[in-house]
């Protein structure tokens, strides 16, 4: 069926409301817009679905939500009646249509005889992971597009361990979506009827309280917070999202007296009116928090993204201005602090381990080596970290105390299997108070770590490839790098090439190939003779190829020079 035929079918379908049909009628004369909406289904990947919200096969709307949920329901039904009884936890964030989409998930699950538990209103992403584990659910769905712009929404899927869906289950859903008709295959029960029938249970404060009890268990030094509580000040912003309630709550329970919340961004709003992008990775979003911090004399600023799974920090520099910490820097600070705090309290496990992704700074490995903690790499994505954590702990090989990735995601404790801004906020704030008690800012603390562990610098470049041919450009770039393997980059010899697709590692000088433990991901890694690592991988959720530069050197200046040189080279990959 052509995109034109698909458009006509949607336009005349009884499944569409009058408002939806009017929206499609409004683009009747715009062939390019029709093609962009109907040229193909929105692809169900390992992270689920994510796209802009409008009526069409290639976008997020109730029909695509129903279609995906029907496929997911069929995967759950295939697990047998006992799995079905366990039910599905459902959550949503602050985005427009979030509640509507979440209730549609429940309605379709109910139509298939699968019970659901849905929160009474928006909640942080880590809480749905927690709820799956706490209530023994077989799976979970979170309606969120994380830190994407306001036009986006998404459909994130979880399995029984509370981690995002493993690849084989994601593939099974994608296959069923391909076979099932977007309208005719869907079995659905009215949401309110499903509540009356006992197929939908509402979760509320009782689940929050169980979650918060676990979060507070990650506090290791409330005494240091108490010592500085009268003087220590911080500013918090949820960027109009789900962290607005639970993050200030855990900080108050920690004993922080001066949690100053940015009032405009404490307002829940899926249009994110005060920021171009609600992403704590983007420093410009913190402008209101910086103004408030200067006015109040705050010691540091903490921000969480709309679904409260990522957290970003700004800290006071030597000149009193606030400086953004990268995800790598924040993670290294927290890793070092968690290890140190557990040592001081005598609770560091003998087989303590930490996890990071292959694109995360190697400084984290150095921190672990110096402190006698094992460090393991995983692919990008917390489902892989959850998988590794489960494997290490079930075998007794290691007890994971900290997991993180460079894109501002951190996971601690045993009660979630996804990145968790609520717990990260607690630990980061306790850490800031600890250094404050020593007369230091977090900027000072970072310089102390560089002096102890060596100088490192990182940069991530996003080679955006939009449009209908974007995916083709991305595929062509990766294919070209494999067909003509690089022997030098920016004039520096490549010593080792790693291809995580087939798990091969090649010594460039000898041509000797060996197999790595990790394989099955479209990622290329180059180790250079000057100690730099370069990683190239396509994004799984956006039309871009990411290039990661991980540099180390004898000085900050040397590291910065390497980063600049390889960043210039990476730009040439756009073609």
Closest by CA to 259, choosing from 279, 281, 289, is 289
Catalytic residue among 36, 129, 146, 521: 146
DSSP per-residue codes, 466-534: -STTHHHHHHHHHHHHHHS--SEETTEEEEEEEETTTTEEEETTT--EEE-S--SS--EEEEETTS-EE
Q: How far apart are CA 155 and CA 42, in angstroms?
A: 11
Q: How far apart are CA 101 and CA 95, in angstroms?
A: 10
50 φ, ψ (degrees, to nearest 5): -155, 135
* Residue 46 CA: distances (Å) to CA of 134, 440, 520: 24, 42, 12
Closest by CA to 150, choosing from 92, 91, 95, 93, is 95
Exposed, middle or buried: residue 34 (CB in 10 Å: 0-12, 13-18, 19+)? buried
SS3 (DSSP) at 428: helix
Crossing angle (nearest 10°) for helices 62-77 and 98-111:
40
- Residue 108 CA to its chain's centroid (Å): 26
* CA dihedral of 407, 383, 121, 253, whole degrees rounded to 10: -70
Q: Judge contact between 164 and 449, C-beta under 8 A.
A: no
At which residue do the structure tokens 């001066």 appear?
A: 258
Structure token pair of residue 187: 């079995």
Is 146 part of the annotated catalytic residue set? Answer: yes
- Residue 377 CA to its chain's centroid (Å): 17
Q: Which residues contact 535 (CB under 8 A, 6 or more apart)?
A: 358, 359, 523, 524, 525, 526, 546, 547, 548, 550
Structure token pair of residue 372: 């006698």
Extended beta strands in 326-454, E state: 352-357, 374-378, 399-405, 409-411
Q: Which residues contact 499 (CB under 8 A, 6 or more apart)?
A: 482, 505, 506, 523, 524, 525
* CA dihedral of 296, 299, 303, 309, whole degrees rounded to 10: -150
What percent of the residues of the chain are helix, what percent strand, and what percent coil, each to the nearest 5? 40, 20, 35
Q: Judge contact between 131 and 124, C-beta under 8 A.
A: no
Strand partners, 505: 498, 514
Q: Which residues contact 432 (CB under 8 A, 6 or more apart)?
A: 232, 234, 299, 300, 315, 442
Catalytic sites, residue numbers: 146
């Amino acid at each position: 069926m052509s995109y034109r035929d698909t458009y006509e079918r949607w336009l005349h379908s009884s499944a569409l409301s009058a408002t939806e049909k009017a929206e499609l009628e409004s683009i009747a004369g715009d062939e390019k817009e029709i093609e962009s909406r109907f040229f193909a289904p929105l692809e169900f990947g390992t992270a689920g679905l994510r796209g802009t919200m409008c009526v069409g096969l290639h976008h997020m709307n109730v029909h695509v939500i129903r279609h995906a949920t029907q496929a997911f329901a069929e995967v759950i039904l295939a697990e047998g009646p006992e799995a079905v009884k366990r039910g599905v936890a459902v959550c949503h964030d602050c985005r427009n249509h979030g509640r509507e989409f979440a209730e549609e998930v429940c309605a379709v699950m109910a139509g298939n005889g699968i019970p659901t538990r849905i929160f009474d209103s928006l909640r942080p992403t880590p809480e749905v992971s927690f709820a799956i584990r706490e209530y023994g659910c077989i799976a979970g769905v979170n309606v969120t597009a994380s830190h994407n712009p306001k036009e986006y929404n998404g459909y994130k899927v979880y399995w029984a361990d509370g981690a995002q869906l493993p690849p084989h289950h994601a593939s099974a859903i994608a296959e069923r979506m391909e076979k099932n008709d977007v309208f005719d295959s869907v079995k659905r029960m009215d949401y309110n009827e499903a509540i009356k029938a006992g197929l939908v249970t509402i979760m509320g404060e009782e689940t929050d309280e169980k979650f918060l009890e676990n979060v507070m268990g990650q506090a290791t030094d409330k005494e240091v917070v108490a010592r500085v509580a009268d003087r220590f000040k911080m500013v918090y912003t949820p960027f109009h999202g789900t962290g607005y309630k639970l993050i200030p709550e855990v900080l108050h329970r920690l004993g922080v007296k001066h949690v100053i919340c940015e009032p405009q961004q404490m307002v829940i709003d899926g249009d994110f009116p005060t920021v171009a992008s609600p992403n704590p990775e983007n420093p410009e979003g913190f402008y209101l928090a910086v103004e408030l911090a200067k006015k109040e004399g705050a010691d540091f600023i903490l921000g969480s993204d709309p679904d409260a799974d990522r957290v970003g920090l700004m800290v006071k520099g030597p000149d009193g201005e606030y400086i953004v910490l990268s995800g790598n820097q924040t993670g290294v600070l927290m890793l070092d602090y968690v290890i140190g705090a557990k040592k001081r309290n005598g609770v560091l496990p003998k087989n303590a381990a930490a996890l990071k992704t292959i694109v995360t700074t190697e400084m984290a490995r150095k921190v672990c080596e110096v402190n006698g903690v094992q460090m393991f790499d995983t692919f990008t994505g917390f489902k892989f970290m959850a998988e590794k954590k489960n494997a290490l702990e079930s075998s007794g090989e290691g007890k994971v105390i900290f997991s993180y990735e460079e894109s501002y995601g951190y996971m601690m404790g045993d009660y979630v299997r996804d990145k968790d801004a609520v717990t990260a906020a607690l630990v980061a704030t306790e850490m800031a108070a600890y250094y404050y008690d020593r007369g230091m800012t977090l900027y000072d603390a970072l310089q102390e770590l560089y002096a102890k562990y060596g100088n490192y610098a990182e940069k991530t470049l996003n080679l955006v490839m939009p449009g209908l041919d974007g995916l083709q450009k991305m595929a062509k770039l990766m294919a070209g790098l494999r067909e003509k393997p690089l022997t030098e980059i920016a004039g520096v010899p490549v010593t080792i090439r790693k291809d995580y697709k087939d798990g091969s590692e090649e010594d460039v000088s000898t041509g000797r190939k060996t197999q790595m433990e990790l394989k099955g991901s479209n990622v290329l890694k180059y180790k250079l003779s000057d100690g730099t690592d370069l990683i190239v991988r396509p994004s799984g959720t956006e039309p871009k190829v990411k290039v990661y530069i991980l540099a180390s050197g004898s000085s900050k200046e040397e590291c910065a020079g390497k980063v600049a040189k390889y960043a210039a080279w990476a730009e040439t990959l756009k073609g």
